[in-house]
Structure 1
Amino acid sequence: VNVTVNAVNDTPVVESNIADQTLAEDFTPYSIDLNTAFSDVDNVDSELTFSVSGNSNVNVSIENGIATISPTADWNGSENLTFTATDPSGESVSQTVNFTVAPVADIVADKATVVEDTPTIIKVLDNDTFEGNDKVVSLDSNHGPANGTVSVNPDGSVTYTPNDNYHGADSFTYIVTSGGVSESTTVNIDVTPVNDAPVATNDNAVTDEDTPVTIDVLPNDTDIDGDTLSIESASVPETQGTVEIVDGKLVFTPAENFHGDAEITYTVTDGSLTDQATVNVTVNAVNDTPVVESNIADQTLAEDFTPYSIDLNTAFSDVD
C-alpha cells in the first residue's frame, strides 16, 4: 500500500522567550537575534520575516532577523514591544517583551555669583547631560527667586536680575524637558554687594542778620548700605556769607548786614562715593542803629557871623 502524505504548512513557533529588558536612559544600542527566538519547521532557510509593534520610544530596526535596539534621547519609561515572525504563507507567531528604561539624572544643580543691581546670564545647560536636541528650558513658577526675577533666553540660558540694592542669597528652580521627560533642579545665587552712593537731602534753616547759625544736615541724609556719612565740603556765595564744617555740622555766618535767602551747597560722602544737596537759609532783617558817618568839626565863629549850613545827611547814616 502506498500512502501519500501531503505537506501542510506549519505555523512558526517561539523557539525561546526573549527576556524582559531593563535598561538605563540613553542606553548603548544593542541587538537581539530573532532567528534564535523563532523557528519554522517548514522554512529552515530562514525565510521568516520579522516585524515589531507597540514601540514609540524604544527604537527598533530589523535586518536579516537581527533587531537593533536603540534609545530615544533622554526618554525613560516602559513599553511593551511585540515581535512577530511570519512565514511565506502568512502564518505568524508573536511574543511580547517589556522594555523598562530607568531614568538617569541629566540635570545638575547650578551655582552663580551675581553682582548687586546687575542682570546676569546663567548658562544652566552647560553642566547638564541631555542627549536630545529638543530640550526646552522652563521655570518652576512655584519656586521662583524671592529677591529678583528670572527669564529664559532663546538659547536655553536664563537671565537673573536681583532686586534693586539687594545682596545675599537667592535661588530658583528650572525645568528641562527632553525626550518627553522633564527634570528639574535648583540654581543657587550669591548676590555680592557693591557700594551705593549716599543720598543727600536738601535742608532749610533760619537765622537773623549778623547772627551765625549751626545747621545739622546729616540726619536726613541716607546710605542704603548703612555706611557712616560725613560732610566732605561746603560752599556759599561770598556776598551771602561764609560756611565752615565744625564737628560734623555746618556753621553759616551771614555777610555783614546781609538779609534774604542764602544757598549753601554741601557734599556728603560715605568714604568713597558722594552726593550733593543744598541748604536754604532765610536770614531775617534786623533793624540797625544809625551811625555817625563823619564827625562834624567843632565850629569857631566871629560875632554876628554870616549864617551857613551843615549837611547832616553826610554826617550820619543807617544801613537800613
Structure 2
Amino acid sequence: MHIVFCKFWKIVINDVCNAIDINPSLAGNQSSFTSANGQWSVDYFTGDVIFVPNAHFNGTESISYSIQNNLGQVSNLGQITVNLTAVNDAPITFSNYLSVTEDAGLQTGNVLSNGDYDVENAPLSCNLIPVVNAANGTFTISANGSFTYVSNPDFYGTETIVVSVCDAGSPLPSACNNDTLFIDITPVNDAPVALNDAFTVGENSITTLNQLANDSDIDNPIDLSSVAILFGPVHGTATLLNGQIVYTPTIGYVGADSIFYQICDSAAPLTD
C-alpha cells in the first residue's frame, strides 16, 4: 500500500479488519511502534493503522505488518508506505523588548536579531507595513528587519508594535509569522516652563505680581516655596509672598524695570 500525504497530518490507513501486528519482529501483536520519523499505532476496533509524523518531517516512511485471523493463523508480511510531501513552514519568531526613557529621541534596532529563523533555512524579510503600528510615536521598518522609533513628546508607557516576518518560500508559496516589539518607555521629570510676564504698576505703589499665572509643568505642580528671585529689580525692591513677587519701585521712579526669577516643580529640575 502506497499513500501520499502532506506533512503534519495524522494519517489513518484502514488496511485490515482483524488482528494486526505492526512490529512482527517481536512476539505477540504489537499495537504501537515508534520509528525515526514518527509514531505508528493500531486501532483494533476499526482496523485502522495510524501514523503521526514527527514535526517538520517529509519524505517516505514504511512499516511492515502481519495480520492474524480468528484461528490464530498469521499472514505473510505486508508493507505500508507513506510519502509525505514537503510544505513550507512559517518562520519561528521571538518577541523583542526595548527599554528607553521618555523623550529619548531616535531609537534603532533589528527585530530579526532576536533569534528568528526558518525551519527550511530560507532567508527572512519583514513586511514594510506593520500589522500593528506604533500608537504613541513614529515607527519605520526595513525589509532586513532594521527599525527606527521615536516616541511622541512627553509620552511614557508601553508601546506594542507587531510586524510580519516572511520566508522566501521553500517550497513556495512563502509563509509569514508575526513578530512583536515591546517598547517600555519610562517617565522622566520634565522641567516647568516659565514664560515672560509684563505688568503695569503705579508710581510709588506696592504691587503684588502674579507672575506664575502663565507658568506650567506637565508632570507636577509648581512648588511655590521654590520660587526664587535671581536678579533685579534695578529700580526698586522685590520680595516673595506665597510664590508671588511683591514689587516696590524706587520713590519717584517712572520707567521700565526687570526681575528674573526661577521656579521648580515638586520633583526637581530648575528652569527660568
Q: Normalised by the shorter chain, which TM-score bucket?
A: 0.5 to 0.7
Q: Kindly tell me: are residues 114 and 106 of structure 1, through their superposed partners in 2, closer, same or farther at Cα, counting changes over 3 Å?
A: same
User: Match of 1:309?
Assistant: none
User: Match of 2:204?
Assistant: 210
In 1, the alpha carbon distance for the partners of 2:87 and 2:122 equals 19
User: Match of 1:196?
Assistant: 190
In 1, the alpha carbon distance for the partners of 2:111 and 2:92 equals 12
In 2, the alpha carbon distance for the partners of 1:192 and 1:269 equals 21
Question: Could you tell me whether the CA contact under 8 Å between 1:140 and 1:173 is conserved in 2?
Answer: no
2:7 matched to 1:22?
yes
Amino acid at match of 1:17: H
Amino acid at match of 2:101: V
Q: 1:221 Cα deviation (Å)?
A: 0.6
Three-state SS of the structure 2 residue aligned to 1:210 is coil
Question: Could you tell me whether the CA contact under 8 Å between 2:234 and 2:258 is conserved in 1?
Answer: no
User: Match of 1:275?
Assistant: 271
Question: Could you tell me whether the CA contact under 8 Å between 1:242 and 1:252 is conserved in 2?
Answer: yes
In 1, the alpha carbon distance for the partners of 2:91 and 2:141 equals 21
User: Match of 1:158?
Assistant: 147
User: Match of 1:233?
Assistant: 228
Amino acid at match of 1:275: T
1:45-92 CA deviation, whole Å, 9 max, x = no partner?
xxxxxxxxxxxxxxxxxxxxxxxxxxxxxxx9x99xxxxxxxxxxxxx
Three-state SS of the structure 2 residue aligned to 1:200 is coil
Three-state SS of the structure 2 residue aligned to 1:273 is strand
Q: Kindly tell me: are residues 238 and 192 of structure 1, through their superposed partners in 2, closer, same or farther at Cα, counting changes over 3 Å?
A: closer
Q: Kindly tell me: are residues 218 and 111 of structure 1, through their superposed partners in 2, closer, same or farther at Cα, counting changes over 3 Å?
A: same
- Counting aligned pairs with the same residue, the percent is 27
Equivalenced residues, count: 195
2:89 matched to 1:103?
yes
Amino acid at match of 1:112: L
TM-score normalised by the chain length of structure 2: 0.61
2:138 matched to 1:149?
yes
In 1, the alpha carbon distance for the partners of 2:220 and 2:3 equals 73
Three-state SS of the structure 1 residue aligned to 2:252 is coil
User: Match of 1:114?
Assistant: 100
Q: Kindly tell me: are residues 114 and 138 of structure 1, through their superposed partners in 2, closer, same or farther at Cα, counting changes over 3 Å?
A: farther
Aligned partner (choices 208, 218, 221) of residue 215 of structure 2: 221
1 or 2 for the larger relative contact order (CA 8 Å, sep ≥6)? 2
Structure 1 residue runs of 5 or longer lacking an equivalent are: 1-15, 25-75, 80-95, 277-320
Question: Could you tell me whether the CA contact under 8 Å between 2:163 and 2:178 is conserved in 1?
Answer: yes
In 2, the alpha carbon distance for the partners of 1:227 and 1:174 equals 40
Higher-Rg member (1/2): 1
Q: Kindly tell me: are residues 236 and 187 of structure 1, through their superposed partners in 2, closer, same or farther at Cα, counting changes over 3 Å?
A: closer
Three-state SS of the structure 1 residue aligned to 2:213 is helix
In 1, the alpha carbon distance for the partners of 2:154 and 2:96 equals 23
2:264 matched to 1:266?
no
Once structures 1 and 2 are overlaid, which stretch shifts more, 266-275 or 104-113? Answer: 104-113
Q: Kindly tell me: are residues 154 and 182 of structure 1, through their superposed partners in 2, closer, same or farther at Cα, counting changes over 3 Å?
A: closer
Question: Could you tell me whether the CA contact under 8 Å between 1:175 and 1:183 is conserved in 2?
Answer: yes
Amino acid at match of 1:127: N
Aligned partner (choices 130, 148, 160) of residue 117 of structure 2: 130
Question: Could you tell me whether the CA contact under 8 Å between 1:107 and 1:183 is conserved in 2?
Answer: yes
Aligned partner (choices 142, 145, 159) of residue 170 of structure 1: 159
In 1, the alpha carbon distance for the partners of 2:126 and 2:271 equals 44
TM-score normalised by the chain length of structure 1: 0.53
Amino acid at match of 1:108: F
Three-state SS of the structure 2 residue aligned to 1:189 is strand
User: Match of 1:244?
Assistant: 239
Q: 1:145 Cα deviation (Å)?
A: 1.0
Q: Kindly tell me: are residues 257 and 235 of structure 1, through their superposed partners in 2, closer, same or farther at Cα, counting changes over 3 Å?
A: farther
Q: Kindly tell me: are residues 128 and 239 of structure 1, through their superposed partners in 2, closer, same or farther at Cα, counting changes over 3 Å?
A: closer
Question: Could you tell me whether the CA contact under 8 Å between 1:23 and 1:99 is conserved in 2?
Answer: no
Q: 1:109 Cα deviation (Å)?
A: 2.4
Q: 1:204 Cα deviation (Å)?
A: 2.0
Structure 2 residue runs of 5 or longer lacking an equivalent are: 10-55, 60-81, 169-173
Question: Could you tell me whether the CA contact under 8 Å between 1:139 and 1:173 is conserved in 2?
Answer: no
